[in-house]
Structure 1
Amino acid sequence: MKTNYHPRHARHRFPAGVISCAIWLYFRFPLSLRMVEEMLAARGIEVSHETVRRWALKFGPAYARHLKRKPPSRRDIWHLDEVAVAIVGKKHWLWRAVHQDGYVLDEIVQSRRDTTAAKRLLKRLLRKQGCPPKRMITDKLGSYAAARRQIMPDVEHRSHKGLNNRAENSHLPFRRRERARQGFRSARGLQRFVNVFSAVRNLFVPPRSRRSAAATHLHCLNAMAEWNVAASVAA
Structure 2
Amino acid sequence: MESRSPSYKGHRYPAEVISHCVWLYFRFPLSFREVEELMPQRGVLVSHETVRRWCATFGQACANGLRRRRPRSGDEWHLDEVFVRINGELKYLWRAVDAGGNVLGVLVQSRRGEAVARRFFRRVMKKTRAVPRVVVTDKLRSYGAAHREVMPCVEHRRSKYLNNRAENSHQPTRRRERAMKGFRSAGAAQRFLSAFSGISGPCPAAVRGTHA
- 1:41-70 deviation digits (Å, cap 9, x = unpaired): 344432222111101011222223333154
Kindly provide the CA deviation profile for residues 105-153 of structure 1, in whole angstroms up to 9, marking residues without a partner as x: 1111111111111111111122233332111111121211121122112
Is 1:72–1:130's contact at 8 Å kept on the other side of the alignment?
no
1:8-47 to 2 correspondence within 5 Å? 8-47=7-46
Q: Is the 8 A contact 1:85 1:92 kept in 2?
A: yes
Residue 3 of structure 1 is matched in structure 2 by: none
**For the residues of structure 1 that align with 2:9 and 2:143, how far apart are their CA atoms?**
46
User: Partner residue of 1:96?
Assistant: 95
Aligned to 1:170: 169
Distance 2:134 2:178 in 1: 33
Amino acid at match of 1:40: M
TM-score of the superposed pair, with normalisation by structure 1: 0.80
Paired residues for 1:37-186 under 5 Å: 37-67=36-66, 68=68, 70-72=71-73, 76-186=75-185
Q: Is the 8 A contact 2:20 2:204 kept in 1?
A: no
Q: Distance between the aligned counterparts of 2:129 and 2:57, measured in 1? A: 29
SS of aligned partner of 2:130: coil
Cα offsets for 1:169-199 (capped at 9, x unmatched):
1011111111222211121111111221111
Alpha carbons of 1:231 and 1:26: their partners in 2 closer, same or farther (altered >3 Å)? farther
Q: Report if the CA contact (8 A) 2:20-2:207 is conserved.
A: no
- Residue segments in structure 1 that go unaligned for 5+ positions in a row: 1-5, 205-219
Contact 1:60 1:196 in 2 (8 A): yes
Structure 1 residues 103 and 7, CA gap change in structure 2 (3 angstroms): closer
Q: Distance in 1 between matches of 2:101 and 2:146?
A: 22
Separation of aligned partners in 1, 2:187 and 2:52 = 15
1:227 lines up with 2:207 in the alignment: yes
TM-score by length of 2: 0.88
Query: CA RMSD, aligned part only?
Result: 2.1
Q: Does the 8 Å contact 2:6/2:61 carry over to 1?
A: no
Q: Distance in 1 between matches of 2:76 and 2:183?
A: 31
The CA distance in 2 between the partners of 1:131 and 1:41, in whole Å, is 43
Cα separation, 2, equivalents of 1:144 and 1:7? 35
CA contact (8 A) 1:88 1:186 kept: yes
**What SS is found at the alignment partner of 2:192?**
helix
Aligned residues: 206
The one-letter amino acid of 1:63's match is: C
Summarize the Cα distance change of 1:179–1:42 in structure 2 as closer, same or farther, 3 Å threshold: farther
Question: What residue number does 2:197 align with?
Answer: 198
